[in-house]
Amino acid sequence: MSDNKTNQQSSSSSISKREQRILTCDEVSTKSFPIKQIGSDIQHFEGNAQSSVVLERLIQVKTLPEIISRVSHENLILKIIPMVKILAQDEEPTIRQTVAEKIPIIVTELFKSTKGCEEILSTIIPLLVSLHTDQNNNVKEIAEKSIIEIFSLIKSKSIQIHEKEMKFHILSIILDLIRKKEEKKR
């Protein structure tokens, strides 16, 4: 009889665990997941960005603004952006969508240096264009919003680009890549 009670208690506790609410993408807050020290931030980001658990990868993308604000430009380019490229190709559309949403933050930070501008041209813009042509409509929509936001940043005085020609070069590359991707689809 006591075995039956134990089984019922065990069963009811596992039911309550199953009934726990699952967080949606919008409910995952970076405030819920404190950032550790810089060295461990990068290692933690690299490790969890490649996790088999979707929520861990999502958390890493959601915490990108905090991580980016704490690392050097060198670490951003050498450590963080390669992981962002991997996450932008994630099988889970929510991850790709969130990456597309965070790209303007990365671009804003990269615009602060000449080397960062080169990284924008060689890596970030093609990555954003790829997300803009994603099969998932939500990913496409967010990527389009990010492109518009980057256009606005470039056109405004809020971002100081080292060379005026670089501004027009970036804009023309974005437009050209989008046009080429759209032509390939036809």
Burial of 11 (0-12, 13-18, 19+ CB in 10 A): exposed
Which residue positions in the chain have pLDDT lower than 70? 1-39, 155-170, 173, 177, 181, 185-186
Rounded CA separation 180/165 (Å): 22
The 3 state secondary structure assigned to 132-162 is HCCCCHHHHHHHHHHHHHHHHHHHCCCCCCC
Rounded CA separation 119/107 (Å): 9
Q: What pLDDT, on the 0 to 100 scale, is given for residue 22?
A: 43
Helix (H) or strand (E) holding 82, with range, is helix 81-87
Q: What pLDDT, on the 0 to 100 scale, is given for residue 118?
A: 78
Rounded CA separation 120/113 (Å): 11
Rounded CA separation 28/62 (Å): 8
